[in-house]
Structure formats: structure tokens, C-alpha cells
Structure 1
Amino acid sequence: MARRSATGKKTVSAANLAALGAERLAALLLEAAGGDANLKRRLRMELAAELGAADLAVEIDKRLTSLAGSRSRVSWRKRPALLGDLVAVRRIILERLAPLDMRLGLDRLIAWFDLYPGLVRRVSDARGELPAMFEAAAVDLAALASLAGPDIAGEALSEALSTRLDPWAAWVGAAAQGLDPAVARRLLADLTHGRPRPTGRLAGVARRLAERAGDVDAWIAAIPDEERRRPAMQVEIARRLATAGRPADARVALDAARRAAKAGSGWLRGAGSPPPDPAWLEAEIAVLDAEGQAAEADAVRWGLFEQTLSPDLLRTVISRLADFEDVVALDRAFALAAAHPDVMKALAFLMDWPALREAAALVEARGDELRGAHEDAPLWASRLAGRHPLAALRLLRARIRSLTQLGAADREIEGLLGEAEGLAAGVELPEELPDHPTFIAGLRRSPATRPRRR
């Protein structure tokens, strides 16, 4: 017991280090900092933080200026140290300076981002670690800008976009969804009010900000004219207008999309034409809902479900039904799945719902259409094996055939054959299903994938 206690006291932990006392820890830090410039710089910044935001900002500025002014090449060997230095500076800005003074913190974080153009020219970075670091830091930019508020953040980010669009368009675009909506609205106003309509990369930023701000008109205004005339974009505009509670405008946009679409494509469906694209149906549903036409919207939902077999869509339909009507709706949904032209898509829906009885019935009814290449087939078989062993056996055999044709490894095929043999031995096989030895004999396989006879 005593030995374990002594060992615990030697563990490097916060509690054990605190027990050394302030003076001893200070001496150890001074000793370590003597040979570590980064640690010494960090200690200086921590001391400055105790004096206040202005003193800490001065120390941060020194490091930012040094990094920005350096022209020496950074080899792949030295890259990790530089990246670690950049992370440390960003952390001191976020964790120490920003809580003391939000404006100073945001200004320094922007200055940190501004290091990128110079760094990318002199850092050997075949792995792309440097741009990945700055892209990931967009999350911190959004968080700090949101805390700073629309007045501070709007002014600072507007200036960055106005004077340094590349690469700030990418960073603000990435940060947009994490911004406080009030900040997004302010920044969007700075970029658009009283100015020419944004184009190019700035238009992309404006659209992301408008989406975050909930400003559908600004989102539409940022779309280039040529793109806006495309039926697919008009459909998306209609959906967004409907979601924003503007059914009349949404209906106008959707009707314009119909007129622009070519006959026999998209919504304009004729005999022998493919079904409408799901995006058209989703827009029609949104518009009908906004117009208060619930029954018509549900009718279109069923049409969309017939195409997509989307569980989320079916849940939406069921959630809108009165008590006890859900049973009828489920029966209808399962019937549509059973008749779906893609048996594996139908099976995926039934297994995910879950509706195992209906899934087993589908496998039994359309066993010849099963595609064993579907990676979930073994999982589905294991779930069906308890109550529906014949369906599970059909799935496993379809998977085995597929793997054999693809030349898969013996081990995988042998494992599935063992499961299939166990299932075949435990049930009475119908005439169309061969016994296990006959199934193995009938497999077309290469020598590399030949399963052993069981």
C-alpha cells in the first residue's frame, strides 16, 4: 500500500505539482524556459495578462509582427513547431485576451488569420496542414465574433472582406453558420446596403450570411441572373420563400420554374416521362403547406415518398395524422415499399424503420432481385435470422454469390458460409432453395475464392 502511495505522489499531475509550492515551480519554469523560446514567450504573455488587456495585446502583437515579417523558408521538419506556435498564439488570444477585451481579442484574431498569405508562400506543406488549420479556426472566428456582437464584429469583418477578399471570403463563408444571427445581419448589411449587388466570391459569402440571418430576399439577390433563371434554382427559391412564410411569392416562383422547364422533364411530366425530381416535390410541399393546403401537401408527400422511401418523410406524414390513422398510413407505406422498383432500396427502408416482418416478406417475394453487393446484407440477415430464417438465408446466399464473383477473401466467404449452413440446417427449405452442399457446388468461383466444402 505504501509503495502505491509513493508512486502516486510521483505522478505528474496538477495536484502533485501544486504541492511543490510556488517558489519551486517558478524555479523549474525558469529553468525550462531558458532552453525553450516558445515557453518563455508564453510565460511572458501570461505575466502580461495579469497586468491587463493592453499589456497582453502588446506581447501578442510582437509575436504576430515577428511571424508576419519573417521571410525564411520553413522546411517540413520545422513545420510542426511553427504550427504549434500558431496554435499557442491563437489560444492565448481566445482564452486570455478576448475575455479581458473583446475588441482587442477579435482584432488580434483577425491579425492571426492575416498571417496566412505570407506563411503559405514560405512553408513546405505537402500535406496541406497549414490551410486546414486556418479553415478549422473559422469556428473560433464565429464564436468570438458572436461574443463581440454586431457592432464590433460587423465593422472588423467588413473591413477584412472589403480589403482582403481572398482568402477572407472562404473564412467568413465557413464561419457564417456559426455566427450569431444578429452579427450575420449586420455584416450582410455592411456588404450589401448602398452597394452594387455582390458578385463572385463575395456573392457566395452574402448568400451564406443571408441564410444564417434568415433574409431570403438577400439570399435571392446574391444569386447571379443566369443562375436564377434556371428551373432548379427557381424551385429552391420557391421553397425558401414558402419556408419564410411568403406563400404568394413562393407560388409565383414555382410557377415560373414550371414555365422555364422543358416539356417532359422535371415537373412537366408526360406519359413515359421520368417522375419529377424530388426537389420539385419538396418545393411544392413547402408551398402548399404555406398556403394552408394540408391535404394537397400530404398527397404530394406520398408521391415523394413513393420515389424516395424516406423514413423522415414518412414520420412527417404520420405526425400530421389523427389518432389511429397511422396504422393505415404505415400499411400504405409498406405496400409502396414492396412495389418499389429497387428492391434493395425498399429493403433498406423496411429494415431501418424497422418493419422486419415486411422486410422478410419482401425478400421471399423478390429473392431473385436481391443484390448481394449491398454491404448491409449480412447485418440485415443477422437481424432477420431469429424469426425469419429463410429470408436471412436468401440474403446471405446473395451476399456469398456477390463476394465470390468479386474475388473476395476466403475468410469472409467462409464466415458467411458457416452462418448460411447453420440457417439451412434449422429450417425446412422450399423446393426452389437448394440444400447447403448443392448451393456450394453451384457457386461459380475462381480458385482464389473457392470456399471449402462443409
Structure 2
Amino acid sequence: MVRRATSGKKVLSQANLASLGADRLAELLMETAGPALKRRLRLELAAEVGAADLAFELDKRLTALEVSRTRVSWRKRPELLTELKTLHGMIVARLAGLEPSLALDRLAAWFDLYPGLTRRVQDPKGELALIFDSASSDLAALASRLGPEIAGPILGEALATRLSEWAAWVGRGAEGLSPALARRLLVDLTAGKPQPTGRLALVVRRLADRAGDLDAWILSLSDADRKKPDTAAEIARRLAQDGRAGPAREALEAARASHPQARPAKGKAAGPEPQGETWYAAEIAVLEAEGDSGAADAARWRLFERTLSPEALRTLLAKLADFEDVVALDRAFEIAAAHGDLMRAVAFLMDWPAHREAAALILKRRSELRGSWNDLPAWAERLSARHPQAALLLVRARALALRRLGAGFSEEVEQLISEAEVLAVGLAESDIPSHQDFLSELRSPR
């Protein structure tokens, strides 16, 4: 038998194909290219000639897709999705490099294909919508590159006449817009016009965030929304950060008055002020804007007592001199140890990190452990070297929780049993139940 020779040169790769030479490759492409590949090749050839030729070829295909009424079967859908991606890529990667203004016009026309396509393409997995949604960032980048004078009228006209779809695309891409373009669009959408509602309000809000226009952001909120406690508190926070202490205080008091607890039932006293995180963040910002840093720090402690927010604690510690921050940190650990939610407290201590305090808390309040908390295995691993008893309690709690949830003696439960057995070594002088007692509890019917 003749031994067949093997060679890397036969592997289908870019390098090996290049070795065939341009003429041979061109010949093969002409022989074998199907309609989709031929369209792509025409676009590539047009791009080599210049921006006008590429724009012309793109226009022909975009128009063909726009006027078509043929329903696309599930077999043809992948081909259509591939072509949409190809057209998008030729616009933003090739035409935009040659002539950005021509590219933006074609990109707008590409986005305008979507409504017609939805009527003739079944899209059960949302693949079609995802292609257009994911292109929002490219729209924002190209429009910002051209600036408000060129891009403003194009996007403004699309929002004014085709709001249903364009509000979502501009809203998603708003973070990538230049502030100047965002401001231009805001003027087009709001100047001399009624208060925005619905989709328009949402896009105005996103644009206002990008433009740094707080008044436009507030204008985008309905009267009913402004009266909601959390929204009113957010308005107060933003006003305070903008240096408008007076209006911020008014908004904060409005948030307090609008909270359900502030409106007592008949014959009962009013409840405490709203104490959500949004409320406290607003209160802190308002007090800082008013120059009352002492009261702001007191509010930060109240926020920490409720939420165990590491950010609030770090802000407090950063303001303190040496040794004072140690006292404050001890106070924070005491607050965590007394917190009503053990798992949140342990999470704070583990992430700070304060492993010794976390281990002590686990041992002290072991009956409150919730084994369904997904961080337990990672915490046990971090505590196992220096605090094996606390790690053991976490491992056991996880195993018991999985059993109660119907996991049986799965691979994960068996692994937890093995870990628990290792960690249980040396428990003779401990008040923690033995490994055998743990196994009995694990195997007992529920």
C-alpha cells in the first residue's frame, strides 16, 4: 500500500488559501459563490472604489429589503439575519471610515427596516430584535462623531416621526451619545412642546441624564411619578448634587409627606419617616448641600444600621483621624453583629473583610443560618484555615438546605459531607454536634 502523505498545507486556513494566489481564488469564488456571497463581494468591490459606490450598492440592497413583502420562512431566517449583520458591518466598519455622513444616512435606513421585517419574519427567540438593539451603540458612536449639526436633524426626525422604535434605540444608546448631541435632541423634543409622556418621556429622561440637564430629567416625570416617595427622594438627591439646596429640601420634605407611613390611619399617630436606601441617600445629599456635614454623617450611620452599606461606612471612615476610625469600625462591627438579618451581616463582614468577626457571629447565631444562601461554600473555604468551626457550620447548613430542597444525596451534598467530616476533627471540646449527629440529622426524613 502507498502511504498517504500528510501535510499541514492541506488544512483549510487563511494562510493556505492565500498560497493559492489571487487569480486562482478569484476563479474559485466566481465558480462557487452563491447569491449571498456575491452580494457581499459586490459590496467589498464597491468599497474599494469609493464611498459613493459603496453607498449606491448599500442603497440597492436596503431598498430591496424595504419593499419586499415576502414572508421569510424559518429556513431562510438565518440567511436574512446574516445579511442584516453584513449590511450593518459594511455601514459602520467600511462606509463610516470613508464618509461618515453617508454612513449615518444608511444606518438610519437600516434601522428603518425593522418594522417591516417584524411583519414578515417569525422571531420566536428575539434574534431579529437583538440585532437592532445591539446596534444602538454604533448608532450613538457614529452620530456623536458627526456632531449635533449633522446628526441632530437625522435622529430628531426619526424620533419625531417613528417614535415607537427609535425611542428604544436612542434610549439604549444614550450613554454613548456626546453631551452636545444629547442636548440638541432634548431641545428638539421638548422646546415649546407639551410635557413628554410614554416612550417620549423615557427617551427624554435618558437624554437628560447624558446631557446633565436636571430640569429636563424632572420634566420627563409625570405628576403622579413625582409624588411617589422614592421618585421624590431621587429628585431631592439630584437637586442637592446640583447645588440647589433649597429646592432639594422641598423635594425631600415632599417625599416624606407622600410616604404611606406619613399618612396615619384614622385615630392613629403617623408612622416613622420612610427609611429606604433611596430616602437616606437623598437625605445625606441634602444635608451635605446645606453644609451640615455632622447631620449628614449621622444620616450615614442610620443608613449603615439599616443596610450595612460598605460605601456609607467607607465615607464615614475616610473623614476620621487616626484611631478615631478604629473606634468607628468597632462600632460598625457591633452594629453588624446585632443586625436583624444574619446573612446580610455575615456578607458584610466577609466582604469587608472581617473574618474573625464573621466567624464569631456565625458561632453565636448559628440557628439563624440560611443554607440556601449561595455564598456559603465560598465563605466556608475562606474561613476553614483559621476558623474551622464557623466553616463547619456553614458547610452543614448548606448540606441540610440542599436536602430539604429535594437534592437528595447529590454529588454536591456528598462533597459537603466530606468537607464537614474534615472540618469536624477536633470538636471534642466544642458545643457543636458531632459528625455522626450531623449525619443522623441529614438522613432523617423531612
Residue equivalent to 1:452 = none
Matched, 1:412 2:431: no
Consecutive unaligned residues in structure 1, runs of 5 or more: 448-454
Residue equivalent to 1:175 = 173
> More displaced, 320-329 or 346-355?
320-329
Superposition deviation, residue 25 in structure 1: 2.9
Q: Residue 217 and residue 163 in structure 1: after superposition, are their counterparts in 2 closer, same or farther (change >3 A)?
A: same
Residue equivalent to 1:256 = 254
Q: Residue 391 and residue 263 in structure 1: after superposition, are their counterparts in 2 closer, same or farther (change >3 A)?
A: closer
Residue equivalent to 1:376 = 375
Q: How does 1:47-446 map to 2 (within 5 A)?
A: 47-264=45-262, 273=272, 276-410=275-409, 411-430=411-430, 432-443=431-442, 445-446=444-445
> What's the RMSD between the two structures over aligned residues?
2.2
Superposition deviation, residue 8 in structure 1: 4.0
**Are the counterparts in 2 of residues 239 and 286 from structure 1 also a CA contact under 8 Å?**
yes
Consecutive unaligned residues in structure 2, runs of 5 or more: none
Paired positions, count: 437
| Secondary structure of 2:339 counterpart | coil
One-letter amino acid of the counterpart of residue 333, structure 2: F
**Are the counterparts in 2 of residues 347 and 362 from structure 1 also a CA contact under 8 Å?**
yes
Question: Matches of 2:25 and 2:263 in 1, distance apart?
Answer: 75
Question: Matches of 1:317 and 1:7 in 2, distance apart?
Answer: 68
Superposition deviation, residue 271 in structure 1: 9.0
One-letter amino acid of the counterpart of residue 432, structure 2: L
Question: Matches of 1:338 and 1:137 in 2, distance apart?
Answer: 48
Question: Matches of 2:241 and 2:272 in 1, distance apart?
Answer: 29
| Secondary structure of 1:255 counterpart | helix
**Are the counterparts in 2 of residues 265 and 276 from structure 1 also a CA contact under 8 Å?**
no
> More displaced, 270-279 or 150-159?
270-279
Identity of aligned residues (%): 60
> More displaced, 310-319 or 232-241?
310-319
One-letter amino acid of the counterpart of residue 30, structure 1: M
Q: How does 1:36-55 map to 2 (within 5 A)?
A: 36-55=34-53
**Are the counterparts in 2 of residues 245 and 290 from structure 1 also a CA contact under 8 Å?**
yes
One-letter amino acid of the counterpart of residue 31, structure 1: E
**Are the counterparts in 2 of residues 103 and 152 from structure 1 also a CA contact under 8 Å?**
yes
Superposition deviation, residue 275 in structure 1: 6.3
Question: TM-score of the superposition, structure 2-length normalised?
Answer: 0.92
Superposition deviation, residue 152 in structure 1: 1.5
Question: Matches of 2:94 and 2:102 in 1, distance apart?
Answer: 11
**Are the counterparts in 1 of residues 261 and 270 from structure 2 also a CA contact under 8 Å?**
no
Question: TM-score of the superposition, structure 1-length normalised?
Answer: 0.91
**Are the counterparts in 2 of residues 404 and 445 from structure 1 also a CA contact under 8 Å?**
no
One-letter amino acid of the counterpart of residue 46, structure 1: E
Superposition deviation, residue 354 in structure 1: 1.2
| Secondary structure of 2:424 counterpart | helix
Superposition deviation, residue 444 in structure 1: 5.6
**Are the counterparts in 2 of residues 71 and 122 from structure 1 also a CA contact under 8 Å?**
yes
Residue equivalent to 1:26 = 26
**Are the counterparts in 1 of residues 186 and 204 from structure 2 also a CA contact under 8 Å?**
yes
Superposition deviation, residue 378 in structure 1: 2.1
